[in-house]
Amino acid sequence: MLTCRTVWRKLAPLGRASATACRQNVRRAGLNNARTPLCVPVAHMSTGPAGGGGDNLKYALLVGAAFAGGLTYAVLTLRGDQDRYLERMADISSRRQISTVKQPATQTLTEPPAAGAAETAAPPEPKPEAPPSPEEPSPPAEVAGAEAATSSEAAPAADAKPASPTLPSHAPYLLIGGGTASFAAARSIRARDPGAKVLIVTDEPNLPYMRPPLSKELWFSDDPSVTETLRFKQWNGKERSIYFQPASFYIDAEDLKSAENGGVAVLTNRKVVHMDVRGNKVKLDDDTEISYDKCLIATGGIPRNLQVIERAGEEVMKRTTLFRKIEDFKSLDKVSRSMQSITIIGGGFLGSELACALGRRSTETGLEVIQMFPEKGNMGKVLPEYLSNWTTEKVKKEGVKIISEALVKSVSYKDDKLEIKLKDGRLVKTDHIVAAVGLEPNVDLAKSAGLEVDSDFGGYRVNAELQARSNIWVAGDAACFYDIRLGRRRVEHHDHAVVSGRLAGENMTGASKPYWHQSMFWSDLGPDVGYEAIGIVDSSLPTVGVFAKATAKDTPKAATEESGTGIRSESETEDTASSAVAPAAPAPAVENKDEYGKGVIFYLRDKVVVGIILWNVFNRMPVARKIIKDGEEHADLNEVAKLFNIHED
């Protein structure tokens, strides 16, 4: 931009000089025509240039020639286009003729030819009875032509269809992104708007699937083909796929327009690159344009990477996994079977879960699993220090080598190993790195769509009803929304994606509900440590923890077995009254010398409870949700803790 300006400044005086020179030359009226260069502007001026003489003539000739040339070109192009159009039409109609001429030809071989009857019968008929059973005998060519033309209308014009599938040019409900939030919205829309036509566009090759098993259940499967089937056995013994629905649930994108009862179609491997909010349409990476009535942006995010790794070169990048998608799971699974040492950088949910999963595998294969993070203990940003330390000990028991208070200074590839140098001088040698250092929300469309991006939390800024602009909603990891109770935030958990997706779907079909039902999240660190949480759970807040001693029955495994559900948040929707469940196998007596067996931890902000963790205490989330919803100041949190009956199962 600046260079343009400097160039312009330099050229401007030149321009001025040449212009004055021109004017002077013109006024000299034909004296030195040969010397003066023609410095007339190319643009046609409504008034002719001042002055007269030879220059004028040259100017006129030049303009005339240009005009004539342009006109000739235009005429030729148009004529060529018309020729091509006629040719194409002829081509199409001749193709139809060929296919249908074959039909009557084969069928009329047996029929007695009655040329006279054919001539009288064929012309007045606008349409034959049915193409497969024409009564006409083998007709002469022209009748065949007429018949072909009419019967081709009846016959499905399979041959006239273009080779590539026709994508819908309009979708009443367009969902950008094919993850959990998008699927939840699709389901919500279909439930509320009968016959709704929903189009999901995703840049992944997969149909919508759930993410939590990728770092938990799938690793505990005994099935060697789990990377292909992507099925996992839930604690209650029931098996299911990570895909929300099998392929038969969805309809083809081409059929969306004509589907009588509507449906959900998924366009995979397509990225939305441009959004035109004024025109209510989007453009895909293959230049297809799709217009919409209502649009949801549920683009999620991409895993962050450490700068030191990005700068470390290709050999290091090749041996680094940023874990998020199915393909990452597949490749990490392969790596874990072939490598001897894996290092996980990051001590949050994903990092700790993967560490436990790989640690479990290490007992079979002798794999070395290292986890390093800047905090003092696992989940250091979530759990209060005493609990974080306790959890770290548990993770170590799963076979993980923990390096805490570790800041990575540099990573290099040497002697077929990765060398991680820490700021305090420690050196770690490993074969493969998994970076679990956060998620960067995907706001690629913000610029073209003119949508606001939040500077504090990242993501698209939306209101309490998840709306960004008139017909645009955002849900899931990418939404920075206003939570009436807890303030503006952005949440990266599975249940939030479901809740916000559902809410967005409801609002897209006419409801005007704000984000009110608080989503929860959970994590399991091995079979003995599990917790559910809700609200703002930030270790920098003051906390009050109320604990009881745990018995063998207080483990995540027992909890899900009892309620007969597979995924933790599901047990919320299904009353645990149902006793038709596999009887819990008597678990071996667990010796819990630790003090923090089970309990409730309250997170306070200005004396109000804004977050709650249920520590090895399950199926009490509704109570926790209620306390946060009330937003009251409670004088004695022990009294509040009584509501949870932590001593009971």
Does 85 contact other proteins by CB under 8 A? no
Task: Evaluate the CA torsion angle 615, 621, 627, 630 in order and state its sign.
Answer: positive
Contacts to other proteins from residues 91-120, by CB under 8 A: none
The residues facing 403 across adjacent strands are: 372
Residue with Cβ nearer other proteins (118 or 210): 210
Does 261 contact other proteins by CB under 8 A? yes
Q: Which stretch binds other proteins (CB under 8 A): 41-49, 77-85, 261-269, 427-435?
A: 261-269
User: Strands 272-276 and 472-474, how do they pair?
Assistant: unpaired
Residue with Cβ nearer other proteins (324 or 494): 494
| Among the listed residues 28, 231, 240, 274, the single contact to other proteins using CB under 8 A | 240
Closest approach of other proteins to the CB of residue 362, in Å: 30
User: Within 10 A of 339 (CB to CB), how many other CB atoms are there?
Assistant: 16
Per-residue binding string, other proteins, 173-212, x by CB under 8 A, is -----------x-xxxxxxx-xx--------------x--
Does 634 contact other proteins by CB under 8 A? yes
d(CA 217, CA 224): 14
d(CA 383, CA 191): 39
| Among the listed residues 443, 566, 611, 616, the single contact to other proteins using CB under 8 A | 566
Closest approach of other proteins to the CB of residue 184, in Å: 6
Closest approach of other proteins to the CB of residue 388, in Å: 11
From start to end of 154-288, where are the E strands?
Answer: 170-176, 197-201, 231-233, 239-241, 263-267, 272-276, 281-284
Q: Which stretch binds other proteins (CB under 8 A): 156-164, 347-355, 419-427, 542-550?
A: 542-550
Does 630 contact other proteins by CB under 8 A? yes
Closest approach of other proteins to the CB of residue 476, in Å: 13
Q: Which stretch binds other proteins (CB under 8 A): 78-86, 124-132, 363-371, 623-631?
A: 623-631
Side-chain half-sphere CA neighbours of 459 within 13 A: 29
d(CA 359, CA 378): 14
d(CA 379, CA 601): 14
Find out whether 319 and 338 touch, Cβ atoms under 8 Å. Answer: no
State the residue for tokens 């032509």.
145
Closest approach of other proteins to the CB of residue 300, in Å: 17
Does 156 contact other proteins by CB under 8 A? no
3-state secondary structure labels for all residues of 571-633: HHHCCCCCCCCCCCCCCCCCCCCCCCCEEEEEEEECCEEEEEEEECCCCCHHHHHHHHHHCCE
Number of H helices, E strands in the chain: 18, 28
Q: Which stretch binds other proteins (CB under 8 A): 96-104, 146-154, 257-265, 306-314?
A: 257-265
The residues facing 611 across adjacent strands are: 535, 603
Residues that bind other proteins (rule: CB under 8 A) add up to a total of: 79
Phi first, then psi: what are they for 121, rounded to 5°? -75, -45
Closest approach of other proteins to the CB of residue 477, in Å: 16
Contacts to other proteins from residues 456-515, by CB under 8 A: 494-495, 498-499, 502, 505-506, 513-514
3-state secondary structure labels for all residues of 317-358: HHCEEECCCHHHHHHHHHHHHHCCEEEEECCCHHHHHHHHHH
Does 532 contact other proteins by CB under 8 A? no
d(CA 448, CA 272): 11
Does 548 contact other proteins by CB under 8 A? yes
| Among the listed residues 111, 142, 538, 632, the single contact to other proteins using CB under 8 A | 632
| Among the listed residues 322, 379, 627, 628, the single contact to other proteins using CB under 8 A | 627
Does 543 contact other proteins by CB under 8 A? yes
Residue with Cβ nearer other proteins (260 or 415): 260
Does 351 contact other proteins by CB under 8 A? no
Does 248 contact other proteins by CB under 8 A? yes
Residue with Cβ nearer other proteins (315 or 570): 570
State the residue for tokens 């645990």.
576
Does 218 contact other proteins by CB under 8 A? no
Contacts to other proteins from residues 11-40, by CB under 8 A: none
